[in-house]
């Protein structure tokens, strides 16, 4: 395969070099190289096992103890616990250090952006985090390892120690609303950038995908880096279908070289 950039990649590199404020929307595709499978891709979790989607659907989770027990077993063996940041995460750290990053709005719950060195205040976890557990009745938050220890000790569906309510990971399931303050921060980051870079996301889940619309309406350029086509490819000024880590590394390096020059 040629190492020469495509026209779209060359354009994206130029925009990145020129940008003063870049907002990144990251999806599952940015973490697949860290060993965390995506959901909708050819080897995705839901592609291989459509029934697994019930574990991320709030109505099923609340109504069916068996779904909750299955979800807790899945959490025990979540690849998030073994994952380490990859070149894509590190490229975004370099972008922040270059003074160009407005924010990373991530759909991921794995915490790998922060683990790579991205500033916590720059990372907006729009779909929550797997590293904490929350009670759906009293909102108590507990570090996930503490609750998983209870599962390993024989509690298949550990209730909240304060109120006895149902607990789940502090993530946004289908049917749950995003936290208003988190969505507001993500919307502001989308409107306050001159380049919006959607990376490793199918752009099919709202309201996250709609952040592209906010960015474009505010005058930002839109670039999409994803292995598969997305609904926003026709809107984007640059569409790059290639491995995310390789592309981001090249883009950031090119932007840095232009900046230094």
Report the C-alpha gap between 8 and 244 in whole angstroms. Answer: 14
Residues in Cβ contact with 180 at an 8 Å cutoff, skipping those fewer than 6 apart: none
Beta bridge partners of 199: 26, 225
Query: Is residue 54 located within the same domain as residue 111?
Result: no
| Residue 127 known to be catalytic | yes
Mean pLDDT value across residues 149-153: 97
Ordered alpha helix ranges (H), the chain: 7-18, 45-48, 58-63, 65-76, 87-97, 112-116, 144-152, 180-191, 211-217, 244-260
Q: Are residues 2 and 106 both part of a single domain?
A: yes
Host H or E run for residue 124: strand 123-125
Q: Is 157 exposed, middle or buried (0-12, 13-18, 19+ CB in 10 A)?
A: middle
Residue where the block lists tokens 């915490």: 111
- With 70 as the cut, is the pLDDT of residue 258 above it? no
Same domain, yes or no, for 232 and 149? no
Residue 251 in this model has a pLDDT that exceeds 90? yes
Domain of 237, CATH number, reads 3.40.50.1220
> Helix, strand, coil % (nearest 5) of the chain?
45, 15, 40
pTM of the model: 0.89
Give the CATH number, domain containing residue 151: 3.30.1600.10
Task: For residue range 75-109, list pLDDT tens digits in order.
Answer: 999 999 999 999 999 999 999 999 999 999 999 99
Which one from 89, 113, 127, 131 is the annotated catalytic residue? 127
End position of a domain, from candidates 117, 142, 171: 171
Q: Are residues 248 and 151 in the same domain?
A: no
- Domain tally, the chain: 2
- Is residue 76 domain-shared with residue 89, that is, in the same domain? no
Average pLDDT over residues 50-75: 86
My answer on whether 89 and 76 are in the same domain is: no
Where in the sequence is the domain holding 150, given as residue range(s)? 42-82+132-171
Of the listed ranges 7-11, 40-44, 56-60, 106-110, the one predicted with least confidence = 40-44
């Amino acid at each position: 395969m040629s190492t020469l950039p495509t026209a779209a990649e060359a354009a994206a590199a130029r925009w990145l070099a020129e940008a003063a404020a870049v907002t990144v929307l990251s999806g599952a595709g940015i973490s697949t190289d860290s060993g965390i499978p995506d959901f909708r891709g050819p080897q995705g979790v839901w592609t291989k096992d459509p029934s697994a989607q019930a574990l991320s659907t709030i109505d099923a989770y609340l109504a069916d103890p068996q779904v909750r027990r299955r979800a807790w077993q899945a959490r025990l063996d979540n690849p998030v616990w073994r994952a380490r940041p990859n070149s894509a995460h590190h490229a975004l750290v370099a972008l922040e250090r270059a003074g160009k990053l407005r924010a990373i709005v991530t759909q991921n719950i794995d915490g790998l952006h922060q683990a790579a060195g991205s500033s916590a205040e720059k990372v907006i976890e729009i779909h929550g985090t797997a590293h904490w557990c929350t009670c759906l009745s009293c909102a108590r938050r507990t570090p996930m390892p503490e609750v998983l220890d209870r599962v390993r000790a024989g509690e298949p569906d550990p209730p909240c120690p304060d109120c006895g309510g149902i607990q789940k990971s502090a993530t946004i399931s289908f049917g749950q609303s995003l936290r208003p303050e988190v969505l507001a921060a993500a919307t502001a980051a989308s409107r306050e950038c001159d380049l919006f870079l959607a990376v490793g996301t199918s752009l099919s889940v709202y309201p996250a995908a709609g952040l592209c619309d906010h960015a474009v309406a505010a005058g930002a350029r839109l670039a999409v880096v994803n292995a598969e086509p997305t609904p926003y490819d026709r809107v984007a000024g640059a569409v790059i279908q290639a491995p995310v880590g390789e592309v981001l590394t090249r883009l950031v390096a090119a932007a840095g070289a232009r900046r230094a020059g």
